[in-house]
Chain A
Amino acid sequence: MTKFKVSQHILVPKHIKLSEKDKKELLEEYHISLKELPKINKKDPAIQQLDIKKGDVIKIIRKSPSAGEAVFYRVVV
């Protein structure tokens, strides 16, 4: 049986790991520290294929009925 790839499923939005530079820019843009960001579990199936560690920021691009595409950020815990 081939392994089912969660990230390939149509209902799973795109998860991208932010680079350290992008992460810094993001935190500066919103004047926040990592504490204020929404969280995502390190073991979340959707980010298993990414090379992640605690404290990384994941960018999630979702389809949205009101905006077409909506960007969301989560910090790995």
Chain B
Amino acid sequence: MAEKEKEKIEEEKEETKEEEIEIESYEQAIFKKVKSILFGVFSPKMIQKMAAAKIVTPELYDKEGYPVDGGLMDARLGVIDPGLRCRTCGSKLKECLGHFGYIELARPVIHIKFVDTILKLLRCTCRECGRVLIPKNKIEEVSAALEQIEEERSLEEKRKEIKQLSAVLRAISKCPYCKAKQYPILLEKPTTFIENEKRLSPIEIRTRLEKIPDDELKLFGLNPATVRPEWMVLTVMPIPPVTMRPSITLESGERSEDDLTHKLGDIVRINQRLFENINAGAPEIIIEDLWDLLQYHVTTYFDNTVAQLPPARHRSGQPLKTLTERIKSKEGRIRHNLAGKRTNFSARSVISPDPMLDIDEVGVPIEIAMKLTVPEKVTEWNMEYLKRFIEKGSDKYPGANYIIRPDGKRKKITDETKEAFLEELKPGYVVERHLIDGDVALFNRQPSLHRMSMMAHRVRVLSGKTLRLNPAVCHPYNADFDGDEMNLHIPQTEEARAEAEILMQVRTQLISPGFGLSVIGCTMDSISGNYLLTKELEFSRQEAIDLLYSIGVDDFSKLPKKKVVNGKEIFSVLLPEDFSYKGKSKNGEEVVIKKGQLIKGVIDKASLGSESGLMLRELHKRYGPEKAIELLKKLFKLGIKVLLKIGFTTSVADTDLPTEIKDEIKQILDEAEQAVDKLIESYNNKTLETFPGKTLLETLELKIVEVLNRARNEAGKIVAENADKNTPTMIMADSGARGNLLNLAQMAASVGQQALRGKRIERGYKNRTLSHFKKNDLGPEARGFIRDGFKAGLNPAEFFFQAITGRDGLMDTALRTPKSGYLYRRLANAMQDLKVEYDGTVRDATGKIIQFKYGEDGIDVSKSEAGEINVARIIGGKS
């Protein structure tokens, strides 16, 4: 680790008296402020100075199993065994951070991470006198220009400029000072430098680098106080403390050393051999070979993924993880340990639906509730209450897991300690009690793409092992129940709880900032339920009261006092007395609500759905989020209870059609196929008229596709017109709960043309799609037209075509999701600190204007209705 940062920490000397008092009463702490960080390269002197031991032998332990003095596990380098004390500083394990050692290399070695810099310096300086190849009079000029660039533009720009400069200097062939001839220097990767077809040894390189004067180093962006180029050629090497390469004792009692220790062992061993050979006056070839080997070991010690070198391996063949691999990439120190954050007081489990939960509740399994805790401070007034939790202990619900004494000591509550803690408990203690109903929890599903991906819910402790949520909030989380998992976090301070409740509660997130409509609304069952109710259902008054009572209504004064009440009247009971609304239902019919009475129209997705419910938006606007969520809760349950009462299922019989209609559809398809045959014939006769800009074949394709699609649409229309409107399938399609008319037509009539990349299916065998068609058959059935419906069943060829497009669709989604996800992420990161200022401008963190008016129209979408602002209503007060 020659590249070692020297941190200059300027102590804040102005510690006021108040701070000192706080320090005494709290904990021994010294406050320092980092003013600047200076990066540099270690000099050999520095390495020796900071070392606690000189390492001379590759042996680790002696026969008794004690670390060898001067070995790689030298006791002066720190402690890794519990109970022992450090021989350098005398502290125990975990207190002692460890100390560096050093080894003296028999011959200098290039540091792999500085090869580029060394090459640049060698090329740009004189091989004889070591001066930069710029004439004396120009040096000042150049360095002034560089400084100016750094000041005016950026460090980045300066680096670019230096790069350009060194490219120019490279070409100079005569030193302007000593007139010595310069030769081009080549780098033979990874660490061999070649000049004039002769290899430069690290010794030569080092002497050249030594010659470069201090003040000329600035031209290369080096600060001579912290970096001398010759330090980039290692003569001594620091040995990292044992604490960063601890050995592990296996069950068999054998010791297994860290990868770094292995690598350092190699270095020390070869180094010793090199020393011995030099001293014994061995032939130059042997010394050179050993030197190269030392270079290899030192290089792989720093970086075991150098492209041109075979990575050093364990005996098992698995590559060693050395310094660079420890830091780099996703599993490296930076991204994994420093940037990767973990959190306590959180849970993750599979989710499942529970419509009986409130919209802003989350069902938590009791097992989780007994692990997650909420800290509660003991006061005179809640002492008895908290004692009840301690009495229960940690394995009975609702109990408590820990108490925290005023001095900050955490104590686990067990059956043995329970009694003592009950005695001991005083105001000022903190009890970490189990999660109970009503606690605040943050609920989250990844990917967290918008703020509604993490909302605050109230806890409801339930049996079972899954986290439960109301299906109405699936939409903002984009959750379904095919195995999705979600995370739960418990805020631990009053501030965090308050923040969660004010900013993140589900009710505060109703209106999406993206399109100005509620992201939470009725889905599936509750839509079809409300649709049926307001469309045609009638109940006896008793049944109606029964229904309403089951969803939590107990005031029936709004229900007409008749024997039989209709669905609209039941629905109206939920609406506020003064609510008036005019809107449209999904199929364009009018919906009228006057003074809290649904007078006309049916309630469907266009009124209640998430991302589309206009009535929901209106309710939110008139009565605020509290009332809106309360109403939504009831409307949702009403829909479900209605379906429960009348029973609702879908069956194959829904797609039944009368025989005449079937014949009609058959005729349409027959005609279409005949039309296609005619087209093909005219194509073969060359009588087909070509579209401009298209070939004859393309024209034919277009025409065929058009004819076939028209036929399918016509068939679909007939299905829609003639299907029984009262079948559950049609009800679901009409109300917008699930499915559409196309799905129905595909089941009842014809699946239609299968397309691959916007064309009919044409690949497969030579000139045909499947082997049982004739070659060059352009007919509908040979090119992926599926004449049958799903109910009638597909023939083998049709089934195969359907499988082709089905697979293509799956691949498409599987490949596109990560791509678009990354695209979105980049966008979100680029815009994350843009902010709308009070004057309506959008600015970045530095105050630069990005947009003069937010969204060019200055509209806050979350205060609008689907992006529009109704000024008349705001002025007039009412619509």
Mark A residues whose CB is within 8 Å of B. 30-32, 35-38, 62, 64, 66-67, 70-73
Tell whether, in the assembled complex, residue A67 and residue B857 are in contact, meaning their CB atoms are under 8 Å apart.
yes
| Inter-chain contacts of A66 with B (CB < 8 A) | 855-857, 859, 867
Q: In the docked arrangement, what's the CA distance between A32 and B848, Å? A: 9
Q: Is B9 an interface residue (CB 8 A)?
A: no
Contact of B853 among A32, A37, A67 (CB under 8 A): A67
Q: Is B631 an interface residue (CB 8 A)?
A: no
Q: In the docked arrangement, what's the CA distance between A67 and B859, Å? A: 9
Chain B interface category by residue count: 10 to 19
Q: In the docked arrangement, what's the CA distance between A36 and B856, Å? A: 18
Q: In the docked arrangement, what's the CA distance between A72 and B850, Å? A: 10
Q: Is B852 an interface residue (CB 8 A)?
A: yes
In this complex, what residue of B is CB-closest to A62?
B856
Contact with A along B859-874 (1 / 0, CB 8 A): 1000000010000000
| Inter-chain contacts of B857 with A (CB < 8 A) | 64, 66-67, 70
| Inter-chain contacts of B10 with A (CB < 8 A) | none
Minimum CB–CB distance for B874 against chain A, Å: 18
In this complex, what residue of A is CB-closest to B848?
A36
Minimum CB–CB distance for B335 against chain A, Å: 34
Chain B interface SS verdict (over half):
loop
Query: Can you list 16 A-B pairs with a CB-CB distance of less than 8 A?
Result: A30-B849, A31-B839, A32-B849, A35-B848, A36-B848, A36-B849, A37-B848, A38-B849, A38-B850, A64-B857, A66-B857, A67-B856, A67-B858, A70-B853, A70-B856, A70-B857
Tell whether, in the assembled complex, residue B849 and residue A37 are in contact, meaning their CB atoms are under 8 Å apart.
yes
Contact with A along B34-54 (1 / 0, CB 8 A): 000000000000000000000
Q: Is B90 an interface residue (CB 8 A)?
A: no
| Inter-chain contacts of B852 with A (CB < 8 A) | 30, 70-73
The 7 A-B pairs with the shortest beta carbon distances in the complex, nearest first, are A67-B857, A70-B856, A64-B856, A67-B856, A66-B857, A36-B848, A66-B856
| Inter-chain contacts of B853 with A (CB < 8 A) | 67, 70-71
Q: In the docked arrangement, what's the CA distance between A28 and B654, Å? A: 69
In this complex, what residue of A is CB-closest to B850?
A38
Q: In the docked arrangement, what's the CA distance between A74 and B550, Å? A: 62
Mark B residues whose CB is within 8 Å of A. 839, 841, 843, 847-850, 852-853, 855-859, 867
- Give the residue among B839, B849, B858 with the most A Cβ atoms within 10 A: B849
In this complex, what residue of A is CB-closest to B855?
A66
Tell whether, in the assembled complex, residue A30 and residue B839 are in contact, meaning their CB atoms are under 8 Å apart.
yes
* Seed contacts A31-B839, A37-B848; 8 additional CB < 8 Å A-B pairs: A32-B847, A32-B849, A38-B848, A38-B849, A38-B850, A66-B855, A66-B867, A70-B853
| Inter-chain contacts of A37 with B (CB < 8 A) | 848-849
Q: In the docked arrangement, what's the CA distance between A5 and B841, Å? A: 33
Chain A interface SS verdict (over half):
mixed
Report the tally of A-B residue pairs with Cβ distances under 8 A: 38
Q: In the docked arrangement, what's the CA distance between A35 and B848, Å? A: 7
In this complex, what residue of B is CB-closest to A31?
B839
| Inter-chain contacts of A35 with B (CB < 8 A) | 848
In this complex, what residue of A is CB-closest to B846?
A36
Q: In the docked arrangement, what's the CA distance between A70 and B738, Å? A: 40
Q: In the docked arrangement, what's the CA distance between A24 and B856, Å? A: 22
Q: In the docked arrangement, what's the CA distance between A11 and B667, Å? A: 50
Q: In the docked arrangement, what's the CA distance between A73 and B858, Å? A: 16
- Give the residue among A31, A36, A37, A71 with the most B Cβ atoms within 10 A: A36
Q: In the docked arrangement, what's the CA distance between A44 and B237, Å? A: 56
Q: In the docked arrangement, what's the CA distance between A36 and B842, Å? A: 11
In this complex, what residue of A is CB-closest to B849?
A36
| Inter-chain contacts of B839 with A (CB < 8 A) | 30-31
| Inter-chain contacts of A72 with B (CB < 8 A) | 852
Minimum CB–CB distance for A28 against chain B, Å: 12
Q: In the docked arrangement, what's the CA distance between A72 and B841, Å? A: 11
Q: In the docked arrangement, what's the CA distance between A37 and B867, Å? A: 28
Minimum CB–CB distance for A75 against chain B, Å: 10
In this complex, what residue of B is CB-closest to A72?
B852
In this complex, what residue of A is CB-closest to B857?
A67
| Inter-chain contacts of A73 with B (CB < 8 A) | 852
| Inter-chain contacts of B855 with A (CB < 8 A) | 66-67
- Give the residue among A35, A67, A73 with the most B Cβ atoms within 10 A: A67
Known interface pairs A36-B847, A36-B848, A37-B849; A30-B856 also in contact (CB < 8 Å): no
Minimum CB–CB distance for B364 against chain A, Å: 43
In this complex, what residue of A is CB-closest to B843?
A36
Q: In the docked arrangement, what's the CA distance between A38 and B849, Å? A: 6
In this complex, what residue of A is CB-closest to B839?
A30
In this complex, what residue of A is CB-closest to B847?
A36
Minimum CB–CB distance for B12 against chain A, Å: 33
Minimum CB–CB distance for A73 against chain B, Å: 7
In this complex, what residue of B is CB-closest to A65?
B856
Minimum CB–CB distance for B850 against chain A, Å: 7
In this complex, what residue of A is CB-closest to B858?
A67
| Inter-chain contacts of A71 with B (CB < 8 A) | 852-853
Q: In the docked arrangement, what's the CA distance between A62 and B859, Å? A: 17
| Inter-chain contacts of B847 with A (CB < 8 A) | 32, 36
Q: In the docked arrangement, what's the CA distance between A70 and B840, Å? A: 13
- Give the residue among B847, B850, B856, B859 with the most A Cβ atoms within 10 A: B856
In this complex, what residue of B is CB-closest to A37?
B849
Q: In the docked arrangement, what's the CA distance between A73 and B867, Å? A: 25
Q: In the docked arrangement, what's the CA distance between A70 and B857, Å? A: 7
- Give the residue among B850, B853, B867 with the most A Cβ atoms within 10 A: B853
Q: In the docked arrangement, what's the CA distance between A41 and B847, Å? A: 21
Q: In the docked arrangement, what's the CA distance between A70 and B855, Å? A: 9
Minimum CB–CB distance for B11 against chain A, Å: 36
In this complex, what residue of A is CB-closest to B841?
A30
| Inter-chain contacts of A38 with B (CB < 8 A) | 848-850
